[in-house]
């Protein structure tokens, strides 16, 4: 067919495939060609499967002809952030310490996608061990924002967001600990979801901060993102933190009205946003009211401590999780006279500056004399933040906020200012601390750069977020199939 398949939404590609009007091989080939032609400019991918993706596509075509039942994204290829392992494929987590390591098994989320008829195009670039907000801490190269290649795509899932925005993948999986799916989604003008903690299995996800880590979907439309979640969600025996709660019919939710939905727009978030982001969020609020939603007031008194709590807890857990990368169990190793020298050489050369910074801070807050003063106190305040959200959701059904303080910043602008970089997650990280779902939706542009708003909801009410997001994405004024 003459249509450029890379410009179609994932939902449209799935429908064409299901009707037999286009093969999975054709869809996959078109995206591989786009990657070959354009990814040198953007740096979205660390590893492209190439022939392996085409062989997987051929198997999907065979299954369709045999009448096998597949998933809500059958025929649609996907990209995976390089912290999600795939058997027989390199997995670096954006770090030199894992350079050359080949994964011996496949993550549950990836298995469900492949089982549902979605070949994997490749592994996308990311901040090292998912620690960053710009994809500039990758040990290999920075990723550039397809909407303006002189700017960052956000992070740590910047490669996945850029791949979707650049039409190098119809949909992608990212991961986030403090907003690393939603923030790059907002910067790149795509849709990104942080599911409820436990909604998607973490089995096969390289750990950063286990109590907050999440695999999350990215797509160019809310519908595409809902389809992706529908495939990967659900209980997994390999992950005891995954929830047995039933998976909702997310697609059925999309066409339901938001009339009667109660939403809040707290000043605690707006106060951190620039003028363009505030205006966009207020416009989104007016659109909800025009559609019959009701604006209500809530109070989140503990939110002022969220940034400090997040950075203490996440770094403590990172210090623990990354202890395994020691040059013996993982890592390239190094000539050394004793075990201590081996650790120092392997970790010193294998880890980048940001990872070292976070390990050192995490080790400090867990050390004797500081554990109670910092880590345990942060955990207690984290509980207060979760309780604040629980109370808020007795009044509101969803909470509306900007996704980011501002639009995408320039490459190199914040990389040497850790505090400025950390503040990029101030809108998103509260949802990770509370374990609630949150969706970022593009609602327009400011100075030519995408603007995103965030919708947070009660645990396991992703369907309501998709319903709300479906209305809000009409504000962008863009054709999401060809932005």
Active-site positions read: 81, 156, 180
Under a CB-based contact definition with an 8 Å cutoff, are residues 120 and 51 in contact? no
3-state secondary structure the chain: CCCCHHHCCHHHHHHHHHCCCCCHHHHHHHHHHHHHHHHHHHCCEEEECCHHHHHHHHHHHHHHHCCCCCCCCCCCCEEEECCECCCCCECCCCCHHHCCCECCCCCHHHHHHHHCCCCEEEEECCCHHHCCCCCCCCCCCCCCECCECCECCCCCCHHHHHHHHCCCCCEEEEEECCCCCHHHHHHHCCEEEECCCCCECCCCECCCCCCCCEEEEEECCHHHHHHHHHHHECCCCCCCCCCCCCCCCHHHHCCCCCCCCEEECCHHHHCCCCHHHHHHHHHHHHHHHHCCCEEECCCCHHHHHHHHHHHHHHHHHHHHHHHHCCCCCCCCCCCCCCHHHHHHHHHHHHCCHHHHHHHHHHHHHCCCCCHHHHHHHHHHHHHHHHHHHHHHHHHCCEEEEECCCCCCCECCCCCCCHHHHHHHHCCCHHHHHHCCCEEEEEEEEECCEEEEEEEEECCCCHHHHHHHHHHHHHHHCCCCCCC
75: CB partners within 8 A, 6+ apart: 13, 14, 16, 17, 18, 22, 23, 24, 27, 60, 64, 117, 118
Under a CB-based contact definition with an 8 Å cutoff, are residues 263 and 293 in contact? yes
């Amino acid at each position: 067919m003459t249509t450029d398949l890379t410009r179609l939404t994932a939902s449209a590609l799935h429908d064409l495939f299901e009707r037999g009007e286009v093969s999975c091989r054709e869809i996959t080939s078109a995206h591989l060609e786009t990657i070959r032609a354009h990814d040198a400019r953007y740096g979205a991918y660390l590893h492209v499967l190439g022939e392996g993706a085409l062989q997987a596509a051929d198997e999907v075509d065979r299954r369709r002809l045999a009448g096998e039942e597949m998933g809500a994204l059958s025929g649609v290829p996907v990209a995976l952030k390089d912290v999600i392992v795939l058997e027989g494929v390199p997995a670096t987590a954006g770090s030199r310490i894992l350079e050359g390591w080949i994964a011996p098994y496949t993550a549950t989320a990836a298995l469900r996608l492949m089982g549902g008829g979605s070949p994997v195009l490749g592994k996308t670039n990311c901040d090292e061990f998912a620690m960053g907000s710009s994809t500039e801490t990758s040990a290999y190269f920075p990723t550039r924002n397809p909407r303006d290649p002189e700017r960052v795509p956000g992070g740590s899932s910047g490669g996945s967001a850029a791949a979707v925005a650049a039409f190098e993948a119809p949909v992608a999986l990212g991961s986030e600990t403090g907003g690393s799916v939603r923030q790059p989604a907002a910067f790149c003008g795509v849709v990104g979801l942080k599911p409820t903690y436990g909604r998607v299995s973490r089995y096969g996800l390289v750990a950063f901060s286990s109590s907050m880590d999440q695999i999350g979907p990215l797509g160019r439309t809310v519908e595409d993102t809902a389809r992706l979640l529908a495939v990967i969600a659900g209980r997994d025996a390999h992950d005891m933190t995954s929830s047995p709660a039933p998976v909702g019919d997310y697609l059925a939710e999309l066409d339901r009205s938001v009339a009667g939905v109660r939403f809040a727009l707290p000043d605690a978030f707006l106060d951190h946003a620039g003028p363009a982001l505030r205006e966009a969020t207020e416009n989104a609020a007016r659109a909800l009211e025009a559609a019959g939603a009701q604006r209500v007031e809530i109070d989140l008194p503990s939110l002022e401590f969220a940034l400090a709590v997040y950075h203490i807890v996440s770094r403590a857990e990172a210090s623990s999780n990354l202890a395994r990368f020691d040059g013996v169990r993982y890592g390239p190793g190094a000539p050394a006279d004793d075990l201590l020298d081996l650790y120092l050489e392997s970790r010193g050369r294998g880890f980048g500056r940001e990872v070292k910074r976070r390990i050192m801070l995490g080790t400090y807050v867990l050390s004797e004399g500081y554990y109670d003063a910092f880590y345990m106190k942060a955990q207690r305040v984290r509980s207060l933040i979760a309780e604040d959200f629980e109370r808020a959701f007795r009044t509101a059904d969803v909470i509306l906020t900007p996704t980011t303080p501002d639009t995408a910043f320039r490459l190199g602008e914040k990389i040497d200012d850790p505090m400025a970089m950390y503040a990029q997650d101030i809108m998103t990280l509260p949802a990770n601390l509370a374990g609630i779902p949150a969706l970022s939706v593009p609602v327009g542009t400011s100075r030519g750069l995408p603007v995103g708003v965030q919708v947070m909801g009660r645990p396991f009410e992703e369907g309501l977020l998709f319903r709300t997001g479906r209305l809000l994405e009409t504000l962008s004024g863009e054709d999401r199939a060809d932005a």
